[in-house]
C-alpha cells in the first residue's frame, strides 16, 4: 500500500487517498486525520496534496490547496564524521548500546553542541565524491583491520537544508538538500570536535595498544586540511527534523495543537514538526509528540 498523495476534505469529514494492489482508494475520517509519515514522508505527502509552496505545486501541475511556504524548509540533522585508529592487537567488537558517549558544550549555559562516540571497530573512510550512506548502511561495514573509531557529531547545527518534490508521482523519491555547512560556524565546530576526538582516541593510556591514526592521518593538522577531510567524510545520523515546523510565524506549518495551518481536520505528529533539533537522539522527543497528539485528540473528541 502507498499513499497517492491525495488529501480529501469534505465538509466536516476528511480522509486520504491511497493505492492498494494497483487500485486507487479513499479512506474517510469522521474526525481528524493525523499524518505521521516521518520527517521526510509527511512534508512530501503534504506537497503532493497541494499543501506547501504554491509555486512548486503549480510547476508540477498539482492543484494548490493551501500555500504554506514553510513546508520543505528548515531541515536540520546531526551530521557526523570520525577519526579512525588501527591497533596492534585485535579489538573485541561490542554493541552500540554499550558504546561510551561524551557530550561537549562550548558555552556553559548552552545545550551540548558536540558529541563523541567511541566505536570498537575502524569505520571505513569515505573518499571525496563517494555517495553518502546513513549509519548502518553497507558502506559502514568494518574494514578488515584491527582498530577503533571516535565519531564526532554536531548536535546544534546552524545550517538549514530543504526538501522538494522530484515530480507529481508519489513513487518519486523527494529531493533532499541536507544543507550541511552552509553556515560556516558548523564546520568550525566540527574541526573542534575532530580535535577532541583525536585527543580521546590518541590518549596515552591507549599508547601500548594503538598502532596509529589512519584517518584523517596524524600529519593532517591544519584547520584548512581538517575542513577538507571533514566535508567529504560527513554522513547523517538520520535525525532529520523541522520540515513541517510548529509555530505561529509565516513559515510555520502546524500550530501549537499540531493542526496544519489553514486546513481543517489535518494534523501532523512526527519529527517533522520540531522547530529546532535537540542535542540528543530524536526518538524520545518523537514519542512525546505522539503522546501530545493523543492528548489533544482525546481532549477534543472525548
Q: Identify the CA nearest to 153 among candidates 19, 292, 278, 21.
A: 278
Distance separating alpha carbons of residues 226 and 232, to the nearest angstrom: 11
Instruction: Mention every residue, 6+ apart, whose C-beta is less than 8 A from residue 97.
Output: none
R_g of the chain, CA atoms, integer Å: 22
Number of CB atoms found within 10 A of residue 1's CB: 7
For residue 170, the SS3 value is coil
Rounded distance between C-alpha atoms, residue 239 and residue 45, angstroms: 19
Sole residue written with cell 581538517: 226
The grid cell for 229 is 577531510
Contact 279, 156 (CB under 8 A): yes
Query: Scanning the structure block, which residue is given the C-alpha cell 564526532?
Result: 152
- What region, left, alpha or beta, does residue 11 occupy, with left being phi > 0 and alpha being psi -120 to 50 degrees? left
> How many alpha carbons lie under 13 Å from residue 208 in its C-beta half-sphere?
1
**What stretches of 67-146 show up as alpha helix (H) in DSSP?**
none
Which one from 120, 125, 239, 251 is the annotated catalytic residue? 239
Bridge partners, 85 (sequence order):
148, 213
Q: Is 158 a catalytic residue?
A: no
- Catalytic residue set: 239
Amino acid at each position: 500500500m502507498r499513499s497517492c498523495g491525495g488529501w480529501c476534505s469534505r465538509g466536516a469529514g476528511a480522509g486520504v487517498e491511497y493505492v492498494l494492489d494497483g487500485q486507487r482508494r479513499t479512506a474517510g475520517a469522521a474526525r481528524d486525520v493525523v499524518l505521521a509519515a516521518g520527517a521526510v514522508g509527511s512534508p512530501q505527502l503534504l506537497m503532493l496534496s497541494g499543501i506547501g509552496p504554491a509555486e512548486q505545486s503549480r510547476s508540477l501541475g498539482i492543484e494548490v490547496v493551501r500555500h504554506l511556504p514553510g513546508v520543505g524548509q528548515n531541515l536540520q540533522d546531526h551530521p557526523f564524521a570520525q577519526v579512525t585508529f588501527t591497533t596492534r592487537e585485535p579489538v573485541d567488537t561490542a554493541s552500540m548500546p554499550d558504546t561510551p558517549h561524551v557530550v561537549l558544550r562550548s558555552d556553559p549555559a548552552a545545550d551540548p553542541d558536540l558529541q563523541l562516540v567511541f566505536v570498537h571497530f575502524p569505520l571505513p573512510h569515505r573518499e571525496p565524491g563517494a555517495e553518502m550512506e546513513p549509519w548502518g548502511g553497507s558502506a559502514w561495514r568494518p574494514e578488515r583491520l584491527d582498530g577503533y573509531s571516535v565519531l564526532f557529531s554536531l548536535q546544534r547545527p546552524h545550517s538549514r537544508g530543504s526538501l522538494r518534490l522530484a515530480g507529481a508521482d508519489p513513487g518519486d523519491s523527494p529531493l533532499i538538500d541536507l544543507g550541511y555547512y552552509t553556515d560556516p560556524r558548523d564546520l568550525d565546530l566540527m574541526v573542534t570536535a575532530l580535535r577532541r576526538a583525536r585527543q580521546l582516541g590518541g590518549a596515552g593510556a591507549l599508547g601500548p595498544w594503538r598502532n596509529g591514526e589512519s584517518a584523517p592521518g596524524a600529519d593532517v593538522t591544519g584547520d584548512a586540511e581538517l575542513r577538507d577531510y571533514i566535508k567529504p567524510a560527513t554522513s547523517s545520523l538520520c535525525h532529520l527534523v523541522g520540515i513541517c515546523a510548529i509555530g505561529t510565524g509565516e513559515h510555520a506549518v502546524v500550530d501549537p495543537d499540531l493542526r496544519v495551518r489553514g486546513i481543517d481536520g489535518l494534523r501532523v505528529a512526527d519529527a517533522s514538526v520540531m522547530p529546532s533539533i535537540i542535542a540528543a537522539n530524536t526518538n524520545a522527543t518523537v514519542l512525546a509528540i505522539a503522546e501530545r497528539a493523543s492528548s489533544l485528540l482525546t481532549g477534543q473528541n472525548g
